[in-house]
Amino acid sequence: QVRLVESGGGLVQAGDSLRLTCASSGRSTRNFAVAWFRRAPGQEREFVTAISRGGGDTVYADSVKGRFTVSRDNTRDTVYLQMDSLKPEDTAIYYCAAVRTIMTVSPSVQAESYDYWGQGTQVTVSS
């Protein structure tokens, strides 16, 4: 079983940065693709970014491209989301999710593709 725990959220001002962490316990996630999704108040959950199991393939939503960077440290079973130049519209609960994949598969942008989810961490960006 895989248990994911997000951390690093908080209240910041527009233009600030935050780094979110997704740590896994139980089974190692080094053979798993990991994604970040977010849900803003009153809105549907949306894809943010994903990283392949080896870290060599990443995908970003257009809304965060150039501002957010996803990375991973498989020796620590941890995935990071560096968020720079934050905007009020980035305010949301951020969730990490994981799915076991084979090496050549690019990470999915579909929430339905992921089997394991964390509880989320709140990010609030004030204007």
Whole-angstrom distance, CA of residue 75 vs CA of residue 83: 22
Q: Give the pLDDT confidence of 33-54 residue by residue, as tens digits.
A: 999 999 999 999 999 999 999 9
pLDDT digits (tens, 9 = 90+) for 80-112: 999 999 999 999 999 999 999 887 778 999 999
**pLDDT tens-digit readout, 10-21:** 999 999 999 999
What are residue 41's DSSP bridge partners? none
> How many CB atoms are closer than 10 A to CB 77?
21
Query: Is residue 83 within 8 Å of residue 123, measured between CB atoms?
Result: yes
